[in-house]
Chain A
């Protein structure tokens, strides 16, 4: 690992571990750059995936890797879900030992925000997807 990489990784690890605020970290798309140190600085990882096979497979691999890295709690979040997906999704998560913490429905507000390059909450204060993320927020807050 080159020195610059190592420095940026320790910087991230130190910032997560040493600050006392509730912290949400948007990490690199793949987990290959995630160091053990950074992994140990978080208590929860949310693995976001979509309800089609390749994306679910990626999610399952990320979940396994995150557990190997020692993250205490790894939760799956399925995004852009339609009612037709729900059965397969539940079966897949069960078969790969993934806890599905939230199912975010496919939703026009999210699509509009994507197109605008803005936040969903700048498009609307409530929608099926936003409300599902809100429920997840409540759960995470209750867990501390």
Chain B
């Protein structure tokens, strides 16, 4: 199960996505992972984390990626660690057992 939640700001997308993740976990689905990839991240609060805890989340950075050259000679970007190791290192367990990962941001103003 890999579900993306889309919608305009204000539509309730984060509230629905976070609540869906918690209800899946409460309903007995184990190891649910929630990834916040919105540029204005607030999935943590919907998942039940306190404001303090949500401010301490460590976002994933590009440091966990590496460039490799495949057998076909093509360069590809892949994870430098296993996803499980990434979740262990960066994930935060929320009150209903959903693990939360926060994606890193791209700085827009003059960067990139």
Contacts and interface: CB of A to CB of B under 8 A. Distances in A.
Contacts of B60: 11, 15
Interface residues of B, number: 66
A24 B44 CA distance: 13
Interface in A70-109: 71, 77, 79-80, 104
A95 to B, nearest CB: 20
A30 B6 CA distance: 7
B1 A29 contact: no
A120 B31 CA distance: 21
B24 A79 contact: no
Contacts of A50: 10-12
Nearest to B96: A121
A144 B1 contact: yes
B27 interface: yes
Contact of A117 (B5, B35, B45, B112): B45
Contacts of A59: 7
**Residue with the greatest number of chain A CB neighbours at <10 A, chosen from B8, B27, B34, B86:** B8
B106 interface: yes
Nearest to B21: A24
A117 B9 CA distance: 15
A41 B35 CA distance: 13
B27 A138 contact: yes
Nearest to A5: B106
A140 B112 CA distance: 38
Given A8-B103, A19-B87, A25 B19 contact: no
Interface string B29-52: 101111111111111011110010
Interface of A: 2-8, 10-12, 14-31, 34, 38-39, 41-50, 55, 58-59, 62, 66, 71, 77, 79-80, 104, 110, 113-114, 117-122, 130, 133-134, 136-138, 140-141, 144
User: Nearest 8 A-B pairs (CB), nearest first?
Assistant: A48-B7, A19-B83, A2-B112, A22-B1, A7-B62, A79-B12, A21-B33, A48-B13
17 contacts: A4-B106, A11-B77, A12-B35, A15-B35, A22-B33, A25-B4, A26-B18, A26-B36, A27-B38, A42-B2, A45-B3, A45-B4, A47-B6, A50-B11, A55-B8, A118-B46, A138-B27
